[in-house]
Amino acid sequence: MNRRQFINLMISLLLITVMAFTSGCDTKSAADTTHPSTEPTTTVESLPYVKNVILLIGDGMGLAHIDAARLYYAGREGLLNMQQMPVTGFITSYSANNLITDSAAAGTALSTGFKTNNDIVAMSPDGKTYTTIAEACQKEGLSIGIVTTTSILDATPAAFSSHAMARGSSIEIAQGFLKNKFNVVLGGGANAYKPLITKANELGYKVALTEEEMDEADCEYLMGLFNASNMTGTGVNEPTIAEMTKKAIEILGKDEDGFFLMVEGGLIDKGSHAQDPIYTLPQTLAFDEAVKTAVDFAALDENTLVIVTADHETGDAYIGKGNMDGKEFGYFFGIKDHSGVSLPVFAYGPESEAFMGFYDNTDIPKKIAALLGIEKFPFILESEPVAEGTTSETAAETSVAN
Ligand SMILES: [Zn+2]
């Protein structure tokens, strides 16, 4: 019996107890005829528990990225949506072989609960397959969604769906998506994925190539590929990250068993590599809008846990100078690559206190698994060897360092 089944059983037992208790009270209150109309009625509401999990990852998003967007869009006294979430924490970001992680190793840590070397996707440095939290949730009967503004074959989404010794192995990564058949996969990467779209159709996916097609889709399996490569993140001729998140929740939310959804704001990183604040600011805001979509759903649903974090910081971003009112400030980047600083965590919903404090990035999926009652996690699939000939040379399409 997992935690959710246990909670359901406890609620049932509680109901029976209360029913027995109230019938006892009826006998007693029958003698007390002074206030028959004000007799309190006992109602039992089910206790909020973790049924659904939405994990939002701002790729390359450190504290300075968040603060710059806060100052620019909300003002000195204002807060972004993620900053209004009640629980905050911090995670480390180093990988198994480098103090400075890349998105493959960081995505692996956030999805599998294991450190690995840079460039490796959800596998150990010696080639063993790590089960991802998305795969573990799927095994428990939850519906699964992956949303990103990059190509769906990019390192972060790949780390939740696929297993590869090199992040550039896009064919192997695409095959991982098909093998797992997650319910909702939305992002860019139509070019790299093209040979496999037919296969996706055969598997029962509705494939949407435009925002309109996504909006109209009423199905259990939806694959949206809105750009040849990465999306633009502007919402022009493509859905915004918030709109993709909303659609994913709409489909996944129908599953009585719950869902796991990973949403990546992947372009914050791209803008930071380019040391471009004008590009990076709206990407951070767009990601924050997706956070709002998730939290708004969780507030109504009550059984949804929302976690916001990052895989690493990019650009050693800082706020170097500014006016006292915060309306004018300098948003600078010190380097063109990732830095090794710790990363913020924000959480909302049932059991969100579990994400307080300072801990390792590998603890994130472990905490999620524990709260969902998944016992076999983290988990290494010893018996599944790496397929021969699936190295980085199989596809150079997505080999851009991220
Ligand atoms: Zn990067």
Output DSSP code: residue 320: E
* Distance from Cα 151 to the centre of ligand 1, integer Å: 14
Question: What are 17-76's pLDDT values in tens digits?
Answer: 444 444 433 333 433 444 444 555 555 667 889 999 999 999 999 999 999 999 999 999
Burial of 4 (0-12, 13-18, 19+ CB in 10 A): buried
The CA-based angle 382-387-388, given to 5 degrees, is 130
- What is the per-residue pLDDT for 391? 41
- What is the per-residue pLDDT for 309? 98
Which segments within 351-401 are labelled E, that is strand?
357-359, 380-381
> In whole angstroms, what is the distance from residue 248 CA to residue 142 CA?
13
User: Residue 174: which of 335, 400, 394, 355 has the closest Cα?
Assistant: 394
> In whole angstroms, what is the distance from residue 342 CA to residue 361 CA?
9
- What is the per-residue pLDDT for 42? 56
> In whole angstroms, what is the distance from residue 203 CA to residue 197 CA?
10
> In whole angstroms, what is the distance from residue 291 CA to residue 293 CA?
5
- What is the per-residue pLDDT for 392? 38
* Distance from Cα 96 to the centre of ligand 1, integer Å: 17
Q: 0.75 exceeded by the pTM?
A: yes
* Distance from Cα 61 to the centre of ligand 1, integer Å: 10
The CA-based angle 225-230-236, given to 5 degrees, is 75
> In whole angstroms, what is the distance from residue 337 CA to residue 107 CA?
17
- What is the per-residue pLDDT for 40? 53
Dump the DSSP string for 252-282: HTT-TT-EEEEEEETHHHHHHHTT-HHHHHH
Radius of gyration of the chain (CA): 23
- Contact in structure between 59 and 402 (CB atoms under 8 Å): yes
- What is the per-residue pLDDT for 30? 38
Q: Which residues of the chain have pLDDT under 70?
A: 1-45, 383-402
* Distance from Cα 282 to the centre of ligand 1, integer Å: 17
Residue with tokens 């397929």: 387
* Distance from Cα 334 to the centre of ligand 1, integer Å: 14
> In whole angstroms, what is the distance from residue 312 CA to residue 66 CA?
13
Structure tokens at 92: 């480390």
* Distance from Cα 159 to the centre of ligand 1, integer Å: 15
Q: Is the dihedral of CA 316, 160, 366, 387 positive or negative?
A: negative
- What is the per-residue pLDDT for 32? 42
* Distance from Cα 68 to the centre of ligand 1, integer Å: 18
Distances (CA, A) of 129 to 104, 157, 384: 14, 16, 7
> In the chain, what are the helix, strand and coil shares in percent, each to the nearest 5?
40, 20, 40
> In whole angstroms, what is the distance from residue 35 CA to residue 29 CA?
9
* Distance from Cα 97 to the centre of ligand 1, integer Å: 17
- Contact in structure between 67 and 331 (CB atoms under 8 Å): no
What is the C-alpha end-to-end distance of the chain, expressed in Å?
41
Structure tokens at 145: 């969604």
* Distance from Cα 165 to the centre of ligand 1, integer Å: 18
* Distance from Cα 207 to the centre of ligand 1, integer Å: 28
- What is the per-residue pLDDT for 131? 98
Output DSSP code: residue 118: T
